[in-house]
Amino acid sequence: MEIAEIILRYLGVFLAWPVIILILVVIFLKWFKAPITDFIKRLVKVEAYGSRAVAISPSEQQKKAKETLQTKSKSDIENNFRDNPNLVVAEYSRLFNWYVFEHVFNIIFGTQIDLLEHLSNKGDKGEKYINLAGFYNEFVGRAGTTSYQMNDYLGFLIIYKFLIYEGEGSELNVKITPYGVDFLSYIKTNYSVVYKYKQF
């Protein structure tokens, strides 16, 4: 009997109003998170002690967004291009490079990334073409049967200007380009773990 009374008293303390209010607040926030977030985004005026808040309606919000886009007239854009040509070219170049890097990252083989890292560590010295056969052989071992030849394997990286060839014949040397270094930097920043686990 005494144990039952003790348990009931502990339950009474545990279920006191602060705990119940906390649970209700958590449930309320879970159910109404999206509407509350939307309301906060639409707030335009808040008064502190009088507890007054003014928010625009969703339709007005869309209307204002359209007006903002329309105020950026064609002449404003042309003026921006004319006044800041270097900035515009640099931004376009950056966005284009991101597009290319994303595209290449989706189709590049893991061993090709390893090869780029290896050549990046070699720096301006580069590596003999024949010494890179190990990366190609690793690719073939992972892929199984393939019609992809060593020239195709390196040619992919040449086409995207990540590598260059120097010399001829047995003296053919392969070097990574600054663009290839930029690609490595991009994938290491944006895919810090994933890039290490690319297939083949």
> According to the model, what pLDDT value does residue 55 have?
62
Residue in 113, 158, 115 with CA at minimum distance from that of residue 134? 115
pLDDT more than 90, % of the chain: 0
> According to the model, what pLDDT value does residue 46 have?
67
Q: Which two tokens stand for residue 49?
A: 């002690």
Where does the pLDDT of residue 191 fall: very low under 50, low under 70, confident under 90, or very high at 90 and above? confident
Q: Which two tokens stand for residue 195?
A: 């890039």
Over residues 94-145, the pLDDT tens digits come to 888 888 888 888 888 888 888 888 888 888 888 888 888 888 888 888 877 7
Please give the average per-residue pLDDT across 59-71, as a whole number. Answer: 64
Instruction: List the strands of the sheet with 173-176, edge to edge.
Output: 127-128, 173-176, 163-166
Say which residue, 62 or 196, is predicted with more confidence. Answer: 196
Q: Give dist(CA 164, CA 135) in Å, integer.
A: 17
Which CA distances in Å does 76 have to 40, 92, 93, 122?
31, 18, 21, 48
pLDDT more than 70, % of the chain: 74
- Domains within the chain, CATH numbers bracketed: 2-60 (no CATH), 96-197 (1.10.10.10)
Contact present, 118 and 157 (Cβ < 8 Å): no
CA 116 to chain centre: 21
